[in-house]
Each structure stands twice: as structure tokens, then as C-alpha cells.
Structure 1
């Protein structure tokens, strides 16, 4: 079995958590809290860890800081679960550099976002990804999030990349177009790893053959998101469906402001972090924070910690 096939097996049926980047109140990275969050995630049942994705505020980090976060996460994980750092940037050379760094530190795969702001055409996107993929012997998960990047990686482009680049093994689709994600598996093959980055589609995407989710909500309730996948893997569809609907109110409130502001507010309420963001991001309004706290009270396993805040 090839290395790529092995990691594809390890990443099927999983909750991959896109861990936030915790900051101290002065804006510096809180590496101790990052290590604690990762340890809590793994002990709570999360199947794999990512950092420096959208939830990790990568565009607010320097390249050196992104490398430091990747290294700290790798150390904290200590081989317990797969590690897939986000290595993409709007800058092609930075993407190349960070992806090669992921190889150096021993990551299991890299998650590479569609370049944002530039709005490259499909031919340019193909060239960008093929150049990155050809430069490393590392599995790559493409990250398609048109709401943030202002360009959609079309199915035909992704299918061509999946055929031409053996190490492009999957995609995180933060794409509300469910027809699009169905066509990903139709055109890329049913063994291609399809991860949901849209919380409301995490369960439905499993039903069409998806590999799992990379959900910001898992930052807050890692046990429940992981349990939904575990139930699906065991064939307990009723339990998986119940968890899907149980998570919906939390999913909704965590996206009433730009991610990761509500997620950090929730983790602050739980006493896990100082809910600091770097400008130009900022904390949610008092009204939204109160709503987040009220929704969190509906989750029995965290009710006590919330009410004691």
C-alpha cells in the first residue's frame, strides 16, 4: 500500500479539528494554551488536527509565526493523531515555502487553500496547485472556500488535478452548493477524500460518500462532532442524525459573525482561552456573546462551566 493510500484510509470517517490560534491579551501567540487545546481535542475524541486554517487566522500571522504554530502543534500532537496544517496563502511562493516546511516537520498532509483576493482563473489555479503538488512528496488536501477567496475551484479543474497529481488526495469543500460537492465525487472518484467545511452539511456529506468534516464547531464541542462521525462509522444512523440536529443551534450561532470570532468567544466563555483576535478582526458584540452563552447552556456536558462563568 502506498503512503498516499495509507493516509487516505486514516482520514476516512473522521472529524478533523481546525484549531484556533490562541493569543495573549497583548496579541502574542499563546503557545501554552495552544498545546492545552490540542491535548483537550485529542482526549475528547477528535480524530485529526489542523492549524492555520481559516479558524486559525493565518492571514493575521507572519510566515515565521505560522511555522512556529505548525511546529508547536506537531510537538503537542506527538503522533497521537494525523496532523494536517494549513499551508496555503494568496502568495504562491509563501505557499511553496510553508508546504515544504510541513514536510520538514513531519506533517501527515497539508491543507492548501485556494489563493484569496487574487481571483485567479481556472487555468491559473491548476498551475498553482500542480506546481505545489509536484514540489513535495506529501499528501495535499485542497481547500475550496469561495465565500472567502472570491473564486470557486471548479469540479473539472479539481478532477484534472486529482488525475495529474497523485498526492492531491482530497478536498475540503466550504461550499454551500450541494450539487457541486456531489459532482466532486462523481468526477474525482469515490475514493477521493471529500471533507465538509460547512457545518450544516457535515452529516449530509457523509451520506453521499464524504470522508468527514473539518468543522469550526469542533473547537467548542469536539466530543459531539467526533461522536457523530463515530456513530456514522458504526452504522448507527439514528444517533448520527440526532447529533446533526443537536449541533444545529450551536452551528448557527457560531456563524452569526465572521469565524473565528464567535468560536473564540465561546471558548472564552468556557474558560479555555483569552478570546483575543488580531485586528482587523474583533470580538463579537455583547448581544451576540450573550446569545452564544445562552446556546451553550443547552449542552449538558458544558452547562456547569458556562453557568459558573
Structure 2
């Protein structure tokens, strides 16, 4: 057994859709290859992947396409958490069999106000049913969306029960105090910031990286910050990453990411979303493009990668 802990910068990779709204596996492979070229890992089937608008079967097919294309599975952390226990087990087991380094696991998120006991039983049941020593679970704490938080006490209980399996977390609470509480309580554990605004602070306090929406478009700069966080340039690099995120965050995030990829790749189909999400309006798209141009924003070699 030699499953290395994951570190670095990962993108919850946006999912391209064809005109019939089916996932476009070929386009996803090309995009993931570009992200890897920017030193960015692949958290496919994350929130910004429109993952909960896709079926388990679609995700399995897409993951198979990525692995079969020869992409580096040591940089893959697919999202596998679902409301249905059996869906989570099926996708998680398949991901482990395909050799991914870890899975990012939402709690079951339909029922609200559930207890830590119920959440522990859910995560434990998945781990036991998958029954594979290669499984590495990164919990996904995103209460602004899921409305089902993962408490520090629950984390501690899971680590004690499954020390070799529950190896980290993505904290998308948007609250630095919560991230720091995780870092302080679980030193040496795999805490990822939920966006790059907290990347430098997270690394300074012993964290391992970030998994962020805007890595989809600003992967190179964010990855550079990860590599150079101890350099004299770190504060400047952090400020530059923050500025790009502020610019994109003025607009609905997933449509803005896809519009940006469409503009810089020269492929208009990248702007397509699966309902209930909708594309940016023409005015919004033009405004976003203008704001990014003011900042001399670039996505190097993207057009070539998508050709």
C-alpha cells in the first residue's frame, strides 16, 4: 500500500455539455489535460462541475474517459458524495478501482438538521461497503450550499475510526476561523481551503492546498502561489489571485467560469450549462470580458489545448 496524501491546487473541473445536454467526454479530457499542464489537480464532479445535475452513470463514464485517456490518477479527487447511500458507494468504489488518489465526499445533503451520529453512520457505511484499503476520503464541508455541516467532533470521530481512510477535508465554509480551527485541532491532517483567498493562510498554518472554482480559469497563478508560498513574492501572488477571484465573483460563478473558458478557448459551446443553471446574459458576458481585460488576464495555451 502506497497511496500518497494529496497536496496542491485542484479545480472542481467544469463539465462541458453537448447541444443535447449530454456530457462531452472528449472536451473534458482536453480541458483536464490543460489543467494538469498548469500544475492543477482534478477534483472532477465538484460543485462547479454541475455534479449534482449528473447521474452516477454519467460520472462513471466521464471518469473512465479521463483514466482511459492516460491522465494522471494521482492528481484526481472526484466528488462521490450523493444523497443516496448506494449512489455514493457505487461511484466511490468505481473511482477507487480506477486508481484515483482520493475522493471528495459530500455528506448526504437532502435531509437537514441531521445529527453527527447520523452523519457518522452514513460515512462509515460507505467506507465499510467499499471495503477497499486504497480508499482515501476527503470530507466536503460546504454548509452554504449543502446546509449539512461537518462538525469538528464528527471529524475527530471519523479520524479515530478510520485513520488511514479519512485523510482530509475541503473547507468551503467561507469562514477562515473555521478553517483555522480544523488546522489547529488536527495538525498534520489534510486540510484544503475551499478557495484561493485562504490559500496562503492555510499553508502558513499547516494546510495542504486549496480546491477552488477559479482554478478552472486561473490555475497557473494559483498553482504558482502554492509552490512559492514561502517566497518574498507570496503576498503579492496572493493579492493577484484575490483580484481575479473578486472579478469573477461579481457574476454567477459557474456561468462565469464557462463563459471565460469559452472566450479564451474560442469554443462557444463551453458556455452551455445544464438546467436549471443558465448562461450569462450577453451584457453580463461582455462586462466580465471587459473586467478581465483590464487586468490583462490570460489563459495560456488554452486555445491550442482545445483545438
How far the C-alpha of 1:248 sits from its partner, in A, is: 1.8
Counterpart selection for 1:153 from 150, 153, 167? 150
* SS at 1:97 equivalent: helix
Structure-2 separation of matches of 1:80 and 1:240:
29
Aligned pair 1:220/2:220, yes or no?
no
The corresponding residue for 2:115 is: 121
Structure-2 separation of matches of 1:92 and 1:204:
35
More divergent stretch after superposition (200-209 vs 138-147): 200-209
How far the C-alpha of 1:302 sits from its partner, in A, is: 4.3
The corresponding residue for 1:253 is: 247
Q: Which structure 2 residues correspond to residues 226-305 of structure 1 after superposition, within 5 A?
A: 226-232=223-229, 235-236=230-231, 238-271=232-265, 273=267, 274=269, 275-297=271-293, 298-299=295-296, 301-302=298-299
The corresponding residue for 1:185 is: 183
Counterpart selection for 1:135 from 117, 123, 129? 129
Q: Is the 8 A contact 2:74 2:101 kept in 1?
A: no
Structure-1 separation of matches of 2:39 and 2:69:
15
Counterpart selection for 2:76 from 64, 83, 103? 83
* SS at 1:185 equivalent: helix
Structure-2 separation of matches of 1:52 and 1:302:
22
How far the C-alpha of 1:156 sits from its partner, in A, is: 1.0
* SS at 2:126 equivalent: helix
Q: Is the 8 A contact 2:214 2:245 kept in 1?
A: yes
The corresponding residue for 2:56 is: 63
Aligned pair 1:173/2:167, yes or no?
no
Q: Structure 1 residues 244, 31: CA separation in 2 closer, same or farther (over 3 Å shift)?
A: same
**Alignment RMSD:** 2.1
- How many pairs does the alignment contain? 295
More divergent stretch after superposition (249-258 vs 126-135): 249-258
Q: Is the 8 A contact 1:38 1:77 kept in 2?
A: no
Q: Is the 8 A contact 1:144 1:174 kept in 2?
A: yes
Structure-1 separation of matches of 2:44 and 2:276:
20
How far the C-alpha of 1:66 sits from its partner, in A, is: 1.0
How far the C-alpha of 1:87 sits from its partner, in A, is: 0.6
Structure-2 separation of matches of 1:94 and 1:102:
12
* SS at 2:9 equivalent: strand
Q: Structure 1 residues 295, 261: CA separation in 2 closer, same or farther (over 3 Å shift)?
A: same
Q: Is the 8 A contact 2:10 2:42 kept in 1?
A: yes
Structure-2 separation of matches of 1:7 and 1:80:
12
How far the C-alpha of 1:45 sits from its partner, in A, is: 2.0
Q: Is the 8 A contact 1:175 1:198 kept in 2?
A: no
Aligned pair 1:37/2:35, yes or no?
no
Q: What TM-score comes out, normalization by structure 1 length?
A: 0.89
How far the C-alpha of 1:287 sits from its partner, in A, is: 3.2
Deviation string 1:100-132 (CA, Å, 9 cap, x unpaired) is 111222211111012223222221111111222
Aligned pair 1:211/2:208, yes or no?
yes
Deviation string 1:2-53 (CA, Å, 9 cap, x unpaired) is 53xx512xx23x111211111123312111111110111111222x212111
Q: Which runs of 5 or more residues in structure 1 are unaligned?
A: none
Q: Structure 1 residues 23, 75: CA separation in 2 closer, same or farther (over 3 Å shift)?
A: same
How far the C-alpha of 1:81 sits from its partner, in A, is: 4.4
